[in-house]
Amino acid sequence: MANTFSQIYLQFVFAVQNRQSVIAKEHKEELHKYITSLVQHRKAKMLAINCMPDHIHLFVGFRPTILISDFVKEIKVESNDFINGKDWVKGKFSWQEGYGVFSYSQSHIDKVVKYVLNQEAHHQKRTFKQEYLELLKRFELQYDERYVFDFFD
């Protein structure tokens, strides 16, 4: 689009179905590369990605021509198929329904990239549930805890 300028930085967070810890460390790099290719195929720019055993963070430079809901749906469906095709988990792998998406300004890029890449250390101090609810509160998003992810403590 001629004369269209944008600066959109979004962090996406979504969990494995039933919060199962099934994404093994030995598969992270391959999964990161695959999801990065999915993001790039949609003309977005991957700034940071990190899979934990039970959830994933994507930090993306986004284009205004992309619908957020379509983007997430396509990434989840195609990565589900990828993981299932690799037989990395017993049974059928699936991302849980729903996701979080949080927007940032350019001045926050370095901080968010470090946050996403430092998930292992971050989760030694707080659980994914604590982290996710903290994000919702920090961004002043109204939510009903019954409809946030299915958490199993």
- CA 114, CA 17: separation in Å to the nearest integer? 26
**Tens digit of each residue's pLDDT (9 = 90 or more) over 14-55:** 999 988 899 999 999 999 999 999 999 999 999 999 999 999
Confidence (pTM): 0.87
Condensed to tens digits (0 to 9), the pLDDT of residues 61-81 reads: 999 999 999 999 999 999 999
Query: 14: how many CB neighbours lie within 10 A of its CB?
Result: 21
Q: Which CATH class is domain 8-145?
A: alpha beta
Cα 7 to chain centroid distance, Å, stands at 19
Question: How many whole angstroms separate alpha carbon 148 and alpha carbon 153?
Answer: 14
Q: How many residues does the chain have?
A: 153
Whether residue 57 is predicted with pLDDT greater than 80 in this model: the reply is yes
